[in-house]
Amino acid sequence: MDVIEKGSGNVYEDLGLPNAGEMQVKATLAAKIGEIIKHRHLTQVQASEILGMPQPKLSGMLRGQFRGISEAKMLECLNRLGRDVEIVIRKPSRSRAEGFTRVVFA
């Protein structure tokens, strides 16, 4: 009989990969960038010109290959696609030793 386990919500963490939180944030940002490109009916070549990155690098990012692409670059991509990005830093609602980073789209 197969055993089904409930995931944590972060596939990278579930797989035991290092930097799981950072990878989850990047995956969320890349997905949103891809949605905007699709919504605007842009080709990858057109989008790469707007974003200031080579088309192969954009293609890789949209397929989950984030190495060499910083979160800051991804936030810049969102700005170039006409989105405002707001960063909020606050105290945690519960007492924890470390905070966490998440991406929320309004």
- The range of the structural domain enclosing residue 21 comes to 11-80
Q: What confidence score (pLDDT) does residue 70 get?
A: 94
Q: Is the confidence at residue 1, as pLDDT, over 70? A: no
| Domain contains 18 | yes
Mean pLDDT across 28-50: 97
For residue 28, tell me if it sits in a domain. yes
Q: How does residue 105 score in pLDDT terms, banded at 50, 70 and 90? A: confident
CA distance 25 to 23: 5
Domain CATH for 30 = 1.10.260.40
Q: How far apart are CA 101 and CA 6, in angstroms?
A: 22
Q: Decide if 91 is inside a domain.
A: no
Provide the residue count of the chain.
106
| pLDDT tens track for 46-102 | 999 999 999 999 999 999 998 889 999 999 999 999 999 998 888 877 777 777 777
Q: Is there a domain that residue 24 lies in?
A: yes
70 within domain boundaries: yes
- Strand (E) or helix (H) holding 46: helix 44-51
